[in-house]
Amino acid sequence: MICQILSTEGYETVQATNGREGLLELQINSGFFLVITDLLMPEKEGIETIREIKTDFPDINILAISGGGICFPESYLNIAMAVGADASLCKPFGKKELLNTLERLKS
């Protein structure tokens, strides 16, 4: 859904199903200004992914998203911000909120 929204707004997107795939995509392709990552993912979860991105690709902005899991989503999002995410959104969020956050991160 996020890629669909961003594509209709003129953004070029690449999808990965987990943090491991996302990191591989960053190693293969250059030119990314932003990574949007969920925090609860299989194989490599979001907090670990954020740490690795900030170490290996410090100029890339990170937007962390979460709907929670067994805790409140704000708990996960606060941890994500502490380890390097540049912004966060709690699911569910709307198109306008997503686009406003991206615009803020671009500037």
CATH number, residue 60: 3.40.50.2300
Q: What pLDDT does residue 40 have?
A: 86
pTM of the entire predicted model: 0.91
Are 76 and 69 spatial neighbours (Cβ–Cβ below 8 Å)? yes
Q: Is the pLDDT of residue 73 over 60?
A: no
> From CA 52, how far away is CA 107, in angstroms rounded?
23
Q: Is the pLDDT of residue 69 over 70?
A: no
Q: Which domain holds residue 15?
A: 2-106
User: What are the helix (H) ranges across the chain?
Assistant: 2-8, 19-28, 46-56, 73-83, 95-106
Confidence class for position 70, pLDDT limits 50, 70, 90: low
For residue 17, give the nearest of 51, 43, 47, 54 by alpha carbon. 43
- The whole-number average pLDDT for the span 62-69 is 85
In the chain, the percentage of residues whose pLDDT exceeds 90 is 77
Tell me how many domains the chain contains: 1
